[in-house]
Chain A
């Protein structure tokens, strides 16, 4: 079972990769759909699939939905909390 710190690191890595955003500049308060990240539908959907696989690896009874990731005001921090909850909740 990964630690909270490891889960947060995985989420940040995925956001940085799918938003083509520098990892070292990523902040928890950034909203996925707003500037500066501006993640669009393909980015969010493919990131969902990556994080869903990660959730299922550690907690097969849980899943992650695209509509959860595409919420208007979802921040990096809220996404980290969501994944922690799904894996450990």
Chain B
């Protein structure tokens, strides 16, 4: 009996306690931490963090890319009102070995989400993101602000409505969201070497997600049309489309292999025109 008690005290009880701590920490992690490609003010979109191998159609310059963003905690304000206002800090790291656009940026920012008009047929919500970036490649700082409004509805055809597979489980199949927004960037060497210039634009964006089979093959289409407000020498109309085909192996939704195609004026490349296909290992939590 003593041996059994000793065994329980020495091995089993600490194991149970440790197990509970681990489970508690895992739950805390799942409730408080999110990892994505970016949190640029549209976090309801499913953009996993990526490690990518790029093939550039315009040159022989193939390269490696990493985009990782982490959100740690949310604060909720106006808890007794008819609105939800949420604030959360984000940290992002973006690195690219592309010879034409080497990148090594670390940023810290604050995102807000504001949901209101819940009794309306089409319910609006506002998203914003302000970020301060350290560009290690060029030894300079950059500032970015994005504010956008979107809509949500529960009737077929409305943004945010989920269309579903016609099976017993009625699995999730897809949805779409439109956005109208404003963005402000302070970017060094945008047009003139050695100066930091302001690039501000209004934009219209549509994000669409569709699964071809439940939980395994997904396509996302992210199209954005920017119209410059700031007066500088680059083009005024800056469209960009990003199409991704993702495969989730096994019965899980955290890791996928994706083929991405991007064509247009890319903010990640100082709004130069790009046409890129990439193979990605993606993960989100």
Contacts and interface: CB of A to CB of B under 8 A. Distances in A.
Contact of B113 (A45, A49, A73): A45
B30 A49 contact: no
B205 to A, nearest CB: 15
Nearest to A53: B82
Interface in B105-127: 113, 115, 118, 123, 125
Nearest to A22: B170
A36 interface: yes
Interface residues of B, number: 37
A41 B43 contact: yes
Interface size for chain A: under 10, 10 to 19, 20 to 34, or 35 or more residues?
20 to 34
A18 B215 contact: no
Interface string B130-167: 00000000000000000000101010100011111000
A21 B164 CA distance: 8
B171 A20 contact: no
A42 B115 contact: yes
B215 A35 contact: yes
Contact of B79 (A38, A43, A65): A65
A36 B163 CA distance: 11
Nearest to A21: B170
Contacts of B86: 45, 66
Given A18-B154, A40-B175, A53-B118, 7 more contacts: A20-B163, A34-B253, A35-B169, A38-B162, A41-B113, A46-B152, A72-B27
